[in-house]
Structures are given as structure tokens and as C-alpha cells.
């Protein structure tokens, strides 16, 4: 069995930036164990698997160690692979996922993800997590219905200089950590740490912005926001809060195409 594979850098306009994801279209679903083994072999933060349906595509996302409920950059990468390599010429693409139906709208080389907005509620500052991160947050917010917490810092520099001890971070909390602060040249910046899902630091995390955008929209009293994830690779997103939805716009660039032989 030969399966096409596309490796796409998402939320960037140039290769070696943004967040790389593998996209693999399937004729039908393989066993979960086989999907997980392929994702582990790819060893990227996410591998997206697609199966065509009457309404669009069924879409699932796997890290090297587990299947996840929601992934932004691999959804953008999937839309890019469909448009750039699989002959899909549509202004809107529909994906059936574990988080419900997700839409991606394409305009030129830009892709806008239509994702759920998480409700964020204030939580206590966890000193053990801050110690593991290497910096003391001023606020902590919990994204309801998820395993994500926002740790809010005063300045962009505070987030940039974090040097997490990932073993200590995994021991201190069962939650994935989103570190965020006001941006120097954008509305806000962030970093994402997910040792529990096999990703110590994710380069650009669309699903994190489902919590970040509602928080910063309320704090700054605006609906449209510019965001940067300040990982080593870095990424840029234009975001908008529309009721209970978050829109995230970015670009994708193909790095590699090939076949997986099973």
C-alpha cells in the first residue's frame, strides 16, 4: 500500500517557519494503532489523516504519542494540501472532526480557520508550574472543557526567556501550558508547552488560540487581534472573535511530498 504524504509548514509564508504537519489522504480509515504508528514514525507535532465524505472530509490528528481533539496548524496544512496538490478548487472546505464540523475558507494563499471559542475562567496561580516554566505568571486562566491553562505574563520578554524543565512541568500539572503576554509589535504573543501529549514545545498552536483570542479580546476590548507565537520557528496569525467562534488566518507552504509504503 502506497499512501501520499505532504509535509506543510503552516502559519508561515516561507519554509522552515511556522509549524510543520504531515497530511495523509486515505481511501478509508486504517486501524487506530496503524495511524498512531505512522504519526510516531513521522515524528512531527501532528500528522493529519483525511478521508473524503459526502459533506467534505473526515479529519483526525495524531501527535507522535496520542490522538488529539483539536489541531489548528494541521487543519490549515490539510486545506493547503487539498488546494495545492489534490485539485480541490473550493473557497470553503468542511471537515468532520472530534470537535465538530470545522470550516476553512481560502482566499488566494491565505486560509481562515473557523474554530470554537473556549470559555476561559480565572484560576489560582500554580507556583510549582511557574517554577517549572522558569518564570512567575501574574494570572492563570483555565480553558473550560480542555486540558489547557493560560499563564499570563507582564511582558513579551518574560515569555521569550522561559526555559521550562519539561519533566518538572509534566510532574507539576496534568494540563498543557500556554504562556502569553502583550506583544511588542502585535496584540499578544504566546508559547505552548505540551509534554503530556508528546510535544515539549509546539512551534505554532492554532487550538491554543481558541483560548487566547477570547482572553485577549476581552482584556483589550477588541474583536480583531494580531498574534505571534514566539517559538524558535515562530508563526503569525490574524485572529477574530465572532461570538462563540474564533477565526484564525494564516498561510501554508509545502516543504515535501512523497509516499508512505506500508
Cβ count within 10 A of residue 105: 16
Sign of the dihedral defined by the CA atoms of residues 39, 44, 46, 47, in that order: negative
| CATH class given for the domain over 120-242 | alpha beta
Band (pLDDT 50/70/90 cuts) for residue 96 is very high
Give the C-alpha separation, 235 to 228, whole Å: 6
- Residue 184 has which C-alpha cell? 511588542
- Per 3-state DSSP, the chain is made up of helix, strand and coil in percentages (nearest 5) of 25, 45, 35
Nearest to 20 by CA among 98, 105, 81: 81
pTM recorded for the entire structure: 0.91
pLDDT in tens, 63-75: 999 999 999 999 9
pLDDT at 196 over 90: no
| Same topology between domain 2-116+249-261 and domain 120-242 | yes
pLDDT at 197 over 90: no
Domain ranges of the chain: 2-116+249-261, 120-242
The architecture of the domain spanning 2-116+249-261 is: Roll (3.10)
Average pLDDT value for residue range 185-198: 94
The catalytic residue positions are 46
25-60 residues labelled b (16+ CB within 10 A) or e (exposed): bbeeebeeeebbebbeebebbbbbbbeeeeebbebb
For residue 213, the surrounding DSSP H or E stretch is helix 209-220
pLDDT in tens, 201-243: 999 999 999 999 999 999 999 999 999 999 999 999 999 999 9
Amino acid at each position: 500500500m502506497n499512501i501520499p504524504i505532504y509535509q506543510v509548514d503552516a502559519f508561515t509564508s516561507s519554509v522552515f517557519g511556522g509549524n510543520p504537519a504531515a497530511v495523509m489522504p486515505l481511501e478509508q480509515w486504517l486501524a487506530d494503532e496503524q495511524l498512531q504508528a505512522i504519526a510516531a514514525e513521522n515524528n512531527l507535532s501532528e500528522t493529519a489523516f483525511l478521508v473524503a465524505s459526502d459533506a467534505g472530509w473526515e479529519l483526525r490528528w495524531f501527535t507522535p504519542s496520542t490522538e488529539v481533539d483539536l489541531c489548528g496548524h494541521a487543519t490549515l496544512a490539510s486545506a493547503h494540501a487539498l488546494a495545492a496538490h489534490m485539485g480541490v478548487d473550493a473557497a470553503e472546505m468542511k471537515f468532520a472532526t472530534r470537535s465538530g464540523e470545522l470550516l476553512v475558507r481560502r482566499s488566494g494563499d491565505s486560509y481562515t480557520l473557523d474554530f470554537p471559542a473556549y470559555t476561559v475562567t480565572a484560576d489560582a496561580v500554580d507556583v510549582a508550574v511557574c517554577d517549572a516554566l522558569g518564570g512567575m505568571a501574574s494570572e492563570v486562566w483555565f480553558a473550560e472543557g480542555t486540558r489547557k491553562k493560560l499563564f499570563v505574563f507582564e511582558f513579551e520578554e518574560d515569555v521569550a526567556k522561559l526555559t521550562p524543565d519539561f519533566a518538572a512541568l509534566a510532574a507539576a500539572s496534568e494540563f498543557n501550558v500556554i504562556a502569553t503576554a502583550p506583544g511588542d509589535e502585535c496584540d499578544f504573543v504566546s508559547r505552548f508547552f505540551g509534554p503530556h501529549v508528546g510535544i515539549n514545545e509546539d512551534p505554532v498552536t492554532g487550538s491554543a488560540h481558541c483560548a487566547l483570542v477570547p482572553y485577549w479580546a476581552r482584556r483589550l476590548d477588541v474583536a480583531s487581534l494580531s498574534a505571534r507565537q514566539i517559538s524558535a520557528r515562530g508563526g503569525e496569525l490574524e485572529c477574530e472573535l465572532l461570538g462563540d467562534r474564533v477565526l484564525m488566518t494564516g498561510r501554508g507552504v509545502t516543504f515535501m511530498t512523497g509516499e508512505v509504503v506500508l
